[in-house]
Amino acid sequence: MDSLALLSFGPNGWGNQLAGGVAVTVALSLATLPVGLVAGFFVALGKQSADPLIKLSAEIYTTIFRGLPELLTLFLVYYGAQFGFSALSKLILGYAVEINPFLAGMVALGLVSSSYASETFLSAFRGIPFGQYEGAYAVGLSRYLTLRLVIVPQLLRLALPGLSNMWLNLMKDTALVSVITLNDLLRITTVAVGATKQPFFFYTVACLIYLLFSMLSSIGIWRIDAWASRGVKPR
């Protein structure tokens, strides 16, 4: 069979399956991103807290999830949480309920990405002069309004380079969920390789798809950066 025919849509090709794998990869990336950003933002706030317990907890959080390999974190969440959730649901409902691999992947990758995002946000916080806070308080803004109206708009611009790297790493890390039977792009590619004995062709196709994701993401990040930097004088 011609190699390109293997990508056709229909019973004789793998186009449908690969498209489904792409959809799962994109959906997992997009679902995990807000989890990582929101959790990372609050962890960064915790690291600046005056409460030593909150600050220590935030430091321990990032140390753990930046130190553990992403694959090990995925296993701990999927199998560890699976055991606990099944036992709890059996106790309450009378039967065991399994955790969806998509949800497990989203939680695990969210924990990892949030630990890196927190460091990016923390650096961005430190890049904002303290006079910005003083000026906002001087005109009567509360701490919440100061954060929302003065600090966060600048924070996004300063943190964007680091967050863009986090997003690209997150997209690549979605390939790890194939080990917990989620039919993402890499798992479908591996199945196709086993069925057709065409490893070079299918893995090359997968590489091109991931590179396409990266190129599209770079264009999107450039547009976001242009929007966030509006009104800022170039150096």
pLDDT in tens, 158-210: 898 899 999 999 998 999 998 888 889 999 999 999 888 888 999 999 999 99
pLDDT per residue as tens digits for the range 73-94: 999 988 888 777 777 777 787 7
Confidence of residue 211 (pLDDT cuts 50, 70, 90): very high
pLDDT for 219: 92
Tell me, rounded to whole angstroms, the distance of Cα 141 from its chain centroid.
Answer: 33
CA distance 182 to 162: 28
Return the top range by mean pLDDT from 67-81, 92-106, 123-137.
67-81
Average pLDDT over residues 130-146: 83
Q: Report pLDDT for 131.
A: 83
| Predicted pLDDT at 234 | 55
Within 13 Å and on the Cβ side, how many CA atoms surround 110? 19
- 131-168 exposure pattern, b = at least 16 Cβ within 10 A, e = fewer: eebeebeeeebeeeebeeebbeebbbbbbbebbbebbb
Query: pLDDT digit string (tens) for 17-67?
Result: 999 999 999 999 999 999 999 999 999 999 988 899 999 999 999 999 999
What pLDDT, on the 0 to 100 scale, is given for residue 24? 93
Position 84 scores a pLDDT of 79
Enclosing H/E stretch for 46: helix 15-47
Q: Delineate the domains of the chain, giving CATH numbers in brackets.
A: 4-228 (1.10.3720.10)
- Provide φ and ψ at 58, rounded to 5°: -65, -40
Q: Which two tokens stand for residue 106?
A: 């989203």
